[in-house]
């Protein structure tokens, strides 16, 4: 990624160079070349809040033949800091915080110390009719963060420009459905150790 301060001419030239080499060399070499070009055009590696805002958000891919959809996303440094997440640790997002998920909420709270022992930090969305657990950080352990399962409680600075609340809720539910199976398997594996 290049910051907005790089001229459109330089960006177009970089893209032409990468496309030219993509047909002749291995993809890994093209990635390395792209990184070298980015380092040349932005030697200090500086990105503005605007640059980060352009990339921040969730992206839901097309549904595959198996019904699954790829979900990916990026948090900017402010969002990571807001949640108190360590960039070096894996994060388990628990999004079953709706009214009917009391048992899931209780289970996550019960197994959280075990997950944390394995170096997993937890971001747990809890529905409005459930009490948000008060869990103190344990020194030397990854954090457990509980937050409301609704976007109006998040600071406006953490939301993308033009935040579409209802559409975001739908996307969040799709993400939950896409991630539930792998996340449950991950937790079962750790709990069974």
DSSP labels for 88-103? TS-EEEE---SGGGHH
Residue 30's pLDDT is 86
Asked whether residue 69 falls in the same domain as residue 150, the answer is yes
Contact 116, 144 (CB under 8 A): yes
Asked whether residue 36 falls in the same domain as residue 113, the answer is no
Residue 112 placed within a domain: yes
- Total domains in the chain come to 2
- pTM, two decimals, is 0.47
Distance CA 122, CA 4 (A): 34
Asked whether residue 93 falls in the same domain as residue 66, the answer is yes
Q: What is the pLDDT of residues 15-57, one digit of tens each?
A: 888 888 888 888 888 889 988 998 888 888 877 777 776 666 6
Of 64, 190, 75, 162, residue with least CA distance to 123: 75
Asked whether residue 127 falls in the same domain as residue 35, the answer is no
Asked whether residue 13 falls in the same domain as residue 68, the answer is no
**DSSP strand pairing (69-74 vs 57-63):** antiparallel
Range of the domain at 164: 56-191
**DSSP strand pairing (57-63 vs 144-148):** unpaired
Q: What is the pLDDT of residues 144-168, one digit of tens each?
A: 887 766 555 566 666 666 666 656 6
**Nearest 10 degrees: Cα torsion 134, 178, 172, 48:** 90
């Amino acid at each position: 990624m290049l910051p907005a301060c790089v001229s459109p001419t330089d960006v177009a030239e970089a893209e032409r160079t990468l496309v030219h080499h993509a047909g002749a060399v291995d993809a890994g070499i093209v990635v390395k070349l792209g990184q070298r070009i980015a380092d040349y055009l932005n030697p200090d590696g500086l990105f503005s809040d605007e640059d980060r805002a352009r990339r921040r958000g969730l992206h839901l891919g097309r549904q595959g033949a198996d019904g699954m959809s790829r979900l990916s996303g990026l948090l900017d440094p402010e969002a990571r800091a807001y949640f108190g997440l360590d960039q070096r640790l894996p994060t388990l997002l628990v999004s079953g915080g709706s009214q009917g998920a009391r048992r899931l909420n209780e289970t996550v709270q019960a197994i959280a110390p075990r997950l944390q022992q394995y170096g997993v930090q937890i971001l747990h969305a809890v529905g409005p009719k459930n009490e948000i657990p008060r869990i103190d950080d344990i020194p030397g352990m990854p954090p457990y963060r509980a937050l409301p399962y609704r976007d109006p409680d998040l600071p406006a600075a953490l939301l993308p420009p033009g935040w579409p609340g209802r559409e975001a809720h739908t996307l969040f539910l799709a993400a939950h459905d896409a991630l539930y199976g792998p996340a449950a398997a991950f937790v079962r594996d750790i709990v069974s150790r």
